Structure 1
Amino acid sequence: MTELQSMRESAQGRWTEQGNGAPVIFLHGIPTSPRLWRHVMPLVQGRCLAWEMPGYGTSIPDGANKDLSLSAQTGYLLEWIGSLDLGQKPVLVGHDLGGGVAQIAALRQPDAFAGLLLTNSVSYDSWPIPSVKMMQRLAPVLARLPATMIYPTMVQLVHRGHDNPQRALESIGEHWAPYIAHGAAKALNRQVVPLTSQDTKGVSGRLHTLGLPARVVWGEADRFQKIEFGERLAAELGCELIRIPNGRRFTPEDHPETIASAVNSLLSAA
């Protein structure tokens, strides 16, 4: 596989990019970064741009004084997209929180996108998951914990989200490093406190109005975002649900070929 290009930066944000052709924008969730898409992007037949949400990855410091709710992240995303010279409408691809941002963005600017792909995405009232709710309740304590106390929880959550043990180990190395570099406790605290399902409830029941080419790809064994929500999204978007048997939460890392194939089919349809 081709190595991803290094992080790019502008006044509007940070992202990784590779490839040429029709643009595809990839959106990550928690506790990841654009590196979530490192195995998918080389397989996609287009210009791939993986955006980094403020407050995550190398942009953790940028989240110190920002609203990190999905509604606010959508605003940052649209501002960043508006600053780019894409030449044509991009396809949006979102995982986890990034899938929620993709839904909100598509409804805020329905004429701005060529397609939508959601994989194991937050939606409706499917989130925050119990572990995140617990962290929200314990926020004052969480912010003061040493990284050595947070790391075991992170490892457990990552392993539970992977059906490929080797990729799980790789994933921990990829996604834990920014937390160590920028203060794990405070970073995680800033990320989880503003998370609310009100952001996705606000767009539920409206996705059918988009009329965009869409794909929904779901790991059937996801313990965090259950397959029933994938079925509901596919029905509302009017598309087939692409199921990944035994797949769990981190589909872009465990099943990049399946995700890339769905993206490429969207590019052909757009």
Structure 2
Amino acid sequence: MNGLGGHLHEDLLDGEPIRWLENGEGSPVILLHGIPTSPRLWRHVLPLITGRSLALEMTGYGSSIPAGEGRDLGLSAQADRLLRWLDMVGVEAPVLVGHDLGGGVAQIAATRAPGRFSGIVLTNAVCYDSWPIPSVKAMGRAAPVLRYLPETALYPSFVQLIHRGHDDRARALESLGVHWQHYVTHGAARSLMRQVSALRVEDTIAISDQLPSLGLPARVVWGEADQFQKVEYGRRLAADLGTTLQPIPGGKHFTPEDHPEVIAAAVNELLSPPPGDTAPAPGDARGH
């Protein structure tokens, strides 16, 4: 493995560069990251998935930060790009996996085109009115000033955010090196401000009433000690998707980095459901 978790692919979508990490063969899985990360969020998960994994880089994030200038980086627009990209790469009926903002994108894409997916896995995802978190709101309010600060001015806040979101200190330190690299390369203040300014909670609120009728096999895995996306939202999300919440005791926000084996196991369950298992998960009330 090359340290990325998979092999990097690049193509053009509507004339703009689009990138993704890919690993493995078999039934497809699409993985969506959030803020302030990139497809490398999934670097420890990808090798554990039994199918063909494609971790998409959202426009305006990671190495695609420059492509975000002048484009809509909201979750609704990212969901549209996801669906067009699936057409481009010819991936059919994948399991959709999302963390943080990527979980919001997954919900929007699934409600728009439920027939395109074979299942959905959400972990510590934005949903309903659970976001943006207070620190991100504050960043948005301060955007006009922050964009003129030196790059190093934002680094202490970035460090604090990463550490607050991890329960594994070693993974937190690793994560800092992995994710700050893209910001410092492309201009941390400008990049973060562009990302934060595009966030609209209305994107998830607008589709929340469609979640109970989605009808997709689902798994919801949540770090119980997450200070950013509280576990109560995970329970609500699991109930609406007709499944039961799988908690990670002591787990915080960045579950794909701290607990990759738990996330991969949930994905693999949907790739290889036991014979006769047509319900999304134990406790599913649909059809009763």
TM-score bin (small chain): over 0.9
Shift, 1:5, TM fit: 3.2
Maintained 8 Å contact 2:222/2:248: yes
Structure 1 residue runs without a partner (length 5+): none
Aligned-partner residue type, residue 7 of structure 2 = S
Give the whole-Å Cα distance in 1 for the aligned partners of 2:38 and 2:48.
19
Superposed CA deviations along residues 36-78 of structure 1, whole A, max 9, x for unmatched, are: 0000010000000000000000000000110111111111111
* Stretches (4+) displaced over 6 A: none
Partner of 1:33: 38
Aligned-partner residue type, residue 70 of structure 2 = N
Aligned-partner residue type, residue 73 of structure 2 = L
Superposed CA deviations along residues 86-105 of structure 1, whole A, max 9, x for unmatched, are: 2x310000000000000000
* 2:100 aligned with 1:96: yes
Structure 2 residue runs without a partner (length 5+): 279-288
Partner of 1:216: 220
For residue 7 of structure 1, give the secondary structure of its aligned residue in structure 2.
Answer: strand
Partner of 1:205: 209
Q: Which of residues 222, 231, 234 is equivalent to 2:238?
A: 234
Aligned-partner residue type, residue 80 of structure 1 = W
- Of 155-164 and 202-211, deviating more is 202-211
Maintained 8 Å contact 1:2/1:42: no
Partner of 1:7: 8
Query: How many residues are aligned here?
Result: 269
Partner of 1:67: 72
The two structures have a TM-score, normalised by structure 2, of 0.92
Give the whole-Å Cα distance in 1 for the aligned partners of 2:6 and 2:257.
18
Q: Given the superposition, is the C-alpha separation of residues 193 and 215 from structure 1 closer, same or farther in structure 2, using an over 3 Å criterion? A: same
RMSD: 1.1
Partner of 2:281: none
Maintained 8 Å contact 2:6/2:46: no
Shift, 1:212, TM fit: 0.5
Partner of 1:51: 56
* 2:170 aligned with 1:166: yes
Shift, 1:268, TM fit: 1.3
Shift, 1:210, TM fit: 1.1
Identity across aligned pairs (percent)? 62
Matches within 5 A, 1:74-223: 74-86=79-91, 88-223=92-227
The two structures have a TM-score, normalised by structure 1, of 0.98
